[in-house]
């Protein structure tokens, strides 16, 4: 974050100007003369992609350009599926952690999305089209996630990835047991304080959820039997999502590091009859890759971040490759608004460390996270019928020299580097004029002194606040 602000102050500024103007109906669009990295069907040189109504209608060398179609000439450029970041905390207002309680499954990221967070635009400019926006890792059972498309300019509801299965954040180890936090003097330590305690909290919560599920089933049974004067059970927003997990309707994304805690959670989930959708971070995943694969969980990890805390000491950069080779569906995520802007390079590292093929590396940030999030029928590869979420690079995206040129979501261009550069002067001018205008009107009068409070205050100025409650992920 810090770095981004220092080197790209203009990015925040110009992002403001590139609002939904370009998100108008794109109609029929053709990208021509591109090198197409389909991920599922190899590389097509000098190929075209036909986009109709936001979906990919045709891919290949011999795509006919319909009359009236908008044509993007991508000569010399590379097209890959939009990048999917399986662990993000961008676009969240008012804190990503409800850390006061050990189980915060009543809170929902969806309620507090901030579609004006400039990190959306910055990540978009790095080729990300979909992000799994997660609650922080302050508690064993965290809040509900929101899978979003980075439709810069849309309102909060407009960001949501329609039909994406709902999910929830879990967290194991140091963060939920709070070993990295010194509580204020006089404040009791929140339970749990150990890894045993973390498991106990989760077990306790699911025991409660089962009882809650039973209470409702019993109530419905008695109503169906025609009983009168029945008081329905009280609806509990904390337990409802846990019942959904038990019923297989909600994906669990579990922040985890050590092999032992990963195994513990697998056993606990199997005992209660539910599945972990993804282990997040999972830096010791390579030690228990077989068990993760057998459980059917995915693993979403970093390329080469480690040693930022004790539980991250045993990490190795071969993690993604080793887990892949053991049959785990692996993705590389960012957990950072900055890192998200070069996930293509993070994926490329798995070729150096572990020798994954180009396609396997690309899958780490496209098809695999799509599978993990249950949206692979919509995104993650360039195939007919899928959403036209595409990134155009000037060089091969697995090269460190590649720079994003255009990003499309649902067939609409949401980022265009050339346009972006062209608009900077205009925005500078507007800024200067407004500054002068407001200074003039401010001098004319003595404004009244604010005496009270206001409900919202002015909008944020673009600095995304990442309050994950952790030094590193």
Which residue ranges make up the site for another protein (CB under 8 A)?
Answer: 12-13, 16-17, 93-101, 104, 106-109, 111-112, 114-116, 135, 138, 143, 155-157, 181, 183-184, 187, 190, 229-232, 234-238, 427, 430-431, 434-435, 437-438, 442, 447-462, 469
Contacts of 162 (CB under 8 A, 6+ apart): none
CA gap 141, 102 in Å, rounded: 7
The alpha carbon of 48 is separated from its chain's Cα centroid by a whole number of angstroms, namely 29
If the CB atoms of residues 136 and 285 are measured against another protein, the closer one turns out to be 136
If the CB atoms of residues 46 and 441 are measured against another protein, the closer one turns out to be 441
If the CB atoms of residues 214 and 267 are measured against another protein, the closer one turns out to be 214
Contacts of 178 (CB under 8 A, 6+ apart): 138, 189, 190, 193
If the CB atoms of residues 159 and 299 are measured against another protein, the closer one turns out to be 159
Number of residues written out for the chain: 473
If the CB atoms of residues 74 and 92 are measured against another protein, the closer one turns out to be 92
Q: Nearest distance from residue 189's CB to another protein, in Å?
A: 11
Q: Nearest distance from residue 464's CB to another protein, in Å?
A: 13
Q: Which structure tokens are listed for 193?
A: 């304080």
Q: Which structure tokens are listed for 386?
A: 């899928």
Q: Nearest distance from residue 79's CB to another protein, in Å?
A: 32
The neighbouring-strand residues paired with 300 are 280, 331
Q: Nearest distance from residue 447's CB to another protein, in Å?
A: 6
Q: Nearest distance from residue 248's CB to another protein, in Å?
A: 23
The 8-class DSSP code of residue 188 comes to: P
If the CB atoms of residues 8 and 318 are measured against another protein, the closer one turns out to be 8
Q: Nearest distance from residue 268's CB to another protein, in Å?
A: 23
Find the DSSP H helices in 115-251: 118-124, 156-159, 195-224, 240-246
Angstrom distances, CA of residue 83 to CA of 29, 118, 151, 404: 20, 18, 13, 11
If the CB atoms of residues 220 and 460 are measured against another protein, the closer one turns out to be 460
Q: Nearest distance from residue 114's CB to another protein, in Å?
A: 6
In a 13 Å sphere around the CA of 393, the CA atoms on its Cβ side amount to 24
């Amino acid at each position: 974050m810090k770095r981004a602000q220092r080197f790209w102050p203009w990015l925040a500024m110009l992002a403001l100007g590139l609002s939904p103007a370009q998100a108008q109906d794109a109609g029929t669009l053709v990208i021509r003369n591109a090198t197409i990295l389909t991920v599922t069907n190899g590389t097509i040189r000098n190929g075209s992609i036909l986009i109709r109504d936001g979906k990919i209608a045709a891919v290949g060398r011999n795509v006919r350009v319909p009359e009236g179609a908008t044509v993007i000439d991508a000569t010399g450029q590379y097209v890959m599926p939009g990048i999917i970041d399986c662990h993000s905390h961008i676009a969240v207002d008012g804190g990503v952690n409800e850390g006061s309680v050990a189980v915060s499954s009543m809170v929902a990221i969806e309620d507090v999305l901030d579609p004006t967070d400039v990190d959306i635009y910055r990540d978009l400019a790095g080729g990300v089209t979909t992000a799994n926006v997660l609650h922080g890792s302050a508690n064993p059972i965290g809040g509900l996630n929101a899978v979003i498309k980075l439709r810069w300019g849309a309102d909060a509801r407009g960001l949501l990835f329609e039909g994406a299965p709902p999910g929830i954040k879990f967290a194991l180890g140091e963060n939920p047991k709070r070993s990295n936090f010194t509580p204020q003097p006089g404040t009791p330590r929140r339970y749990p304080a150990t890894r045993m305690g973390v498991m106990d909290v989760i077990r306790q919560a699911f025991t409660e959820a089962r009882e809650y599920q039973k209470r409702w089933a019993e109530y419905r049974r008695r109503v169906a039997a025609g009983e009168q004067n029945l008081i329905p059970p009280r609806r509990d927003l904390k337990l409802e999502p846990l019942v959904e997990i038990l019923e297989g309707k909600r994906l669990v994304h579990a922040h985890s590091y050590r092999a032992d805690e990963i195994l513990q959670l697998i056993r606990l989930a199997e005992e209660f009859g539910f599945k972990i959708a993804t282990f997040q971070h999972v830096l010791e995943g390579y030690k228990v890759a077989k068990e993760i694969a057998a459980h059917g969980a995915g693993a979403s990890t970093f390329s080469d971040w480690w040693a930022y805390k004790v539980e991250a000491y045993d990490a190795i950069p071969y993690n993604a490759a080793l887990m892949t080779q053991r049959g785990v569906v692996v993705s590389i995520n960012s957990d950072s608004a900055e890192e998200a802007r070069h996930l293509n390079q993070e994926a490329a590292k798995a070729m150096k460390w572990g020798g994954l093929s180009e396609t396997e590396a690309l899958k780490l940030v496209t098809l695999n996270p799509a599978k993990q999030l249950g949206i692979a029928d919509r995104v993650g590869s360039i195939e007919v019928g899928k959403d036209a979420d595409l990134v155009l690079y000037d060089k091969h995206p697995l090269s460190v020299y590649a720079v994003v040129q255009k990003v499309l979501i649902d067939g609409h261009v949401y980022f265009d580097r050339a346009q972006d550069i062209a608009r900077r002067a205009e925005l500078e001018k507007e800024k200067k004029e407004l500054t002068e205008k407001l200074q003039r009107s401010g001098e004319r009068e003595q404004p009244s002194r604010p005496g009270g409070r206001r409900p919202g205050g002015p909008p944020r100025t673009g600095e995304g606040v990442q309050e994950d409650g952790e030094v590193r992920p």
